[in-house]
Amino acid sequence: MTGTLAEKVWESHVVRRAEGEPDLLYIDLHLLHEVTSPQAFDGLRLAGRGVRRPDLTLATEDHNVPTTPGPIVDPVSLTQVETLRRNCAEFGVPLYPMGDAEQGIVHVIGPQLGLTQPGMTVVCGDSHTSTHGAFGAIAFGIGTSEVEHVLATQTLPLKPFRTMAVNVDGELPDGVTAKDIVLAVIAKIGTGGGQGYVIEYRGSAIEALSMEARMTVCNMSIEAGARAGMIAPDETTFAYLKDRPHAPSGQAWDEAVEAWRALRTDDDATFDTEVHLDAGQLAPFVTWGTNPGQGLPLSASVPDPESFADEGQRASAARALEYMDLEAGTPLREIAVDTVFLGSCTNGRIEDLRAAAGVIQGRRVADGVRMLVVPGSARVRLQAESEGLDRVFTDAGAEWRLAGCSMCLGMNPDQLEPGERSASTSNRNFEGRQGKGGRTHLVSPLVAAATAVRGTLSSPADL
Amino acid sequence: MEPFTVHVGRAVPLRRTNVDTDQIIPVRFLTRSSIAGYGENLFNDWRDDPDFVLNDPRFTDASILVAGTDFGIGSSRESAVWALTGRGFKAVLSPRFGDIFYGNALSNGLLPVTVDEAATKALWELIERDPSLAVTIDLGAKQVRAASLAVPFEIDSHARWRLMHGLDDVSLTEHHTARIADYESRRRPTMPTTGRRREVS
């Protein structure tokens, strides 16, 4: 069959197709966490339904957990986590709870375990499920009603997405990372530019990325409005997967790799939309506003709202500057932060920690700045500790934490206070996202580390 | 789910674009384990501002929200929909919606109505001039009506049929259980399963 990567994966999962109806799509992997699943299990119980494929379902605790040792203090949060444990036990769903060596952010553990594989369909009640698309899977976030639907039937009724190619060619300059690519993409197409699309990231700059960097790119597809982002599997993908706990082995491995090699967009296939970026022109990117599309190269200044031609963008920028307490014309490099957060499903993997540690080694976190380093999973933490990265961070004055979503979202104890400002490697700079009244600048791990040292938004080149 | 055919109610103008789900329901309220109660915290942090439109007594009993473009972007939290329905909203109008929010709204019988920017502005002006104005959302006719204004809207025909009959997706899919089983019998047997593979170290 001729088509795009997305169309090929879609077609191979159609259970039922009928005129005028959405396709019924089979789901290969369903990931669960404590926040968006309790009402889905309640729905099953109410209707007397079971979980069709607990063996294709995996749960962990990530959003609502503390990243310091000890129990959950907030009783409502504790109830939510205990509810997940009870639901998993009742319905036979495997669970990696707090304290387990496999626990971690749901989008970090799936790939790390080798559960996310090319050509699969992956869903989770979390919009950053797009992360798994880095393996050439169709992976997207779903609501709780859809979680219930997948639990009950292992399928979802869906209308096909439109297809968008984001071509990034050329070579990234030194100090420019996957995070900067995706922030530049979002700034270019806007927070709604990808709505209704699945994005395929292509081009020499994407092919040159490691798997972890590809995950960073796909992770933020949703911030451009696209429910899913994908990258065609290649030798980098296969090398990452080989010998992972859930990857096929022996003859099954060879057969799987042969099948995965066919997962490419054909030369004569067409996308509904194409976007081009020159990697050589990219620079470290930071956001200045309250949505991920409001970003600029670090060398720029806070924009004047009046400079936006579109009326909606003008109003949005004016409101953002007020919330962020920024003045038009201020160089971004002069913006001082209170907090630096290194972690999340976007940038909480071992390569992210290594990159930041490389910058911060032998230096100190600036006076008055708090730096939180939160590994994306317990395995990432153990790996980092075996490499001595934890000591690099703590010697510099940063806090070394347990795995979880942490300050990416202000629902667990790690939050900004009202008026505090962060440089954060997470994915959303929405008002209050990291705590009520908190102000967020999205950055790469390299920029986060340099910012921690200087106390103002900075890149390693500024040190 | 209750069927949705025609709804007549008052509307509230939310003159903002990029209203993400973190604004609709801040994440710190997502610790609940049931659907009830989210309405209390709808737009919680914006409500601190006395000038916020939902604090305006003229709009407190509105059941239709008219918002700027890119409404419901961001997080997949269905509680954003539960917060709106919990406050009595039946329909949300915007030139463009976040994909996941749109699907979540349909799952809960909250009608997401896509109308263009010109129609959105026209509605804002009408309801600001007369907050008591009756606005009609007619799903059968695929039309929004207010005073002399009549705006057509598009919606997927299958989604519309489900809403008009109040049908639940799971029940519909259960008619195809045999097909699901057939598909499963054809899956590559070495596809991964989730049981623990690595011993705890």
Of A58, A63, A149, Cβ closest to residue B170: A149
Q: How many angstroms separate the CA of residue B36 from the nearest CA in chain A?
A: 10
- How far out from the chain centre does Cα A290 lie? 18
Quick one: tokens of A207? Answer: 């092919």
- Over residues B111-120, the mean pLDDT reads 98
CB contacts of A77 in chain B (<8 Å) are: 31
Rounded to whole angstroms, the Cα distance separating A142 from A126 reads 6
Quick one: tokens of A364? Answer: 């100190």
Q: What pLDDT does residue B165 have?
A: 95
CB contacts of A149 in chain B (<8 Å) are: 169-170, 173
A167-181 tens-digit pLDDT: 999 999 999 999 999
**Are B126 and B149 contacting, i.e. CB atoms less than 8 angstroms apart?**
yes
Share of chain B above pLDDT 90, in %: 92
Confidence of residue B160 (pLDDT cuts 50, 70, 90): very high
Task: Give the H/E segment covering residue A54.
Answer: none
CB contacts of B200 in chain A (<8 Å) are: 100-102
Say yes or no to pLDDT of B106 above 80: yes
**Are A133 and A224 contacting, i.e. CB atoms less than 8 angstroms apart?**
no
CB contacts of A146 in chain B (<8 Å) are: 103-104, 107
Best to test chain A binding among B78, B154, B161, B171 (most A CBs inside 10 Å):
B78
Rounded to whole angstroms, the Cα distance separating B144 from A338 reads 48
Of B100, B108, B170, Cβ closest to residue A152: B170
- Over residues B120-141, the mean pLDDT reads 98
Confidence of residue B42 (pLDDT cuts 50, 70, 90): very high
- Over residues B65-70, the mean pLDDT reads 97
Residue A123 pairs in a beta bridge with: A30, A140
Contact A79 B33 (CB under 8 A): yes
Contact A127 B192 (CB under 8 A): no
Q: What pLDDT does residue B198 have?
A: 77
Contact B192 A21 (CB under 8 A): no
CB contacts of B73 in chain A (<8 Å) are: 191-192, 225, 291
Q: How many angstroms separate the CA of residue B166 from the nearest CA in chain A?
A: 14
Say yes or no to pLDDT of B201 above 50: no
Which residue's entry shows tokens 């993400």?
A: B20
Q: What pLDDT does residue B58 have?
A: 96
Q: What pLDDT does residue B199 have?
A: 66
A33-77 tens-digit pLDDT: 999 999 999 999 999 999 999 999 999 999 999 999 999 999 988
- Whether residue A61 lies within 8 A of chain B, CB to CB, comes out as no
Say yes or no to pLDDT of A384 above 60: yes
Residues A136, A141, A146, A152, CA torsion sign: positive
Positions of CATH 3.30.499.10 in chain A: 5-273, 287-462
**Are B32 and B81 contacting, i.e. CB atoms less than 8 angstroms apart?**
no
Q: What pLDDT does residue A312 have?
A: 87
Say yes or no to pLDDT of B52 above 60: yes
Q: What pLDDT does residue B32 have?
A: 84
CB contacts of B81 in chain A (<8 Å) are: 143
Which residue in A has a C-alpha nearest to residue B21's C-alpha?
Answer: A430
- Over residues A96-122, the mean pLDDT reads 98
What CATH architecture applies to the domain A5-273? 2-Layer Sandwich (3.30)
- Over residues A375-382, the mean pLDDT reads 98
At the fourth CATH level, which superfamily is domain A287-462? Answer: Aconitase, domain 3 (3.30.499.10)
Confidence of residue A445 (pLDDT cuts 50, 70, 90): very high
**Are A69 and A26 contacting, i.e. CB atoms less than 8 angstroms apart?**
no
In chain A, positions 75-94, which contact chain B (CB-CB < 8 Å)? 76-77, 79-80, 83, 94
Counted residue by residue, chain B has a size of: 201
Q: How many angstroms separate the CA of residue A372 from the nearest CA in chain B?
A: 20
Contact A153 B18 (CB under 8 A): no
- Over residues A75-94, the mean pLDDT reads 96
Which residue in A has a C-alpha nearest to residue B117's C-alpha?
Answer: A312
- Over residues A210-219, the mean pLDDT reads 98
Mean pLDDT across chain B, nearest whole number?
Answer: 95
Contact B157 A20 (CB under 8 A): yes
- Within 13 Å and on the Cβ side, how many CA atoms surround A97? 14
Contact B74 A47 (CB under 8 A): no
Mean pLDDT across chain A, nearest whole number?
Answer: 97
Helix, strand, coil percent values for chain B (each to nearest 5): 35, 20, 45
Q: Which domains does chain B have, with CATH numbers?
A: 6-186 (3.20.19.10)
- Whether residue A127 lies within 8 A of chain B, CB to CB, comes out as yes
What is the pTM (predicted TM-score) of this model? 0.97
CB contacts of A143 in chain B (<8 Å) are: 76-78, 81, 100, 103-104, 107
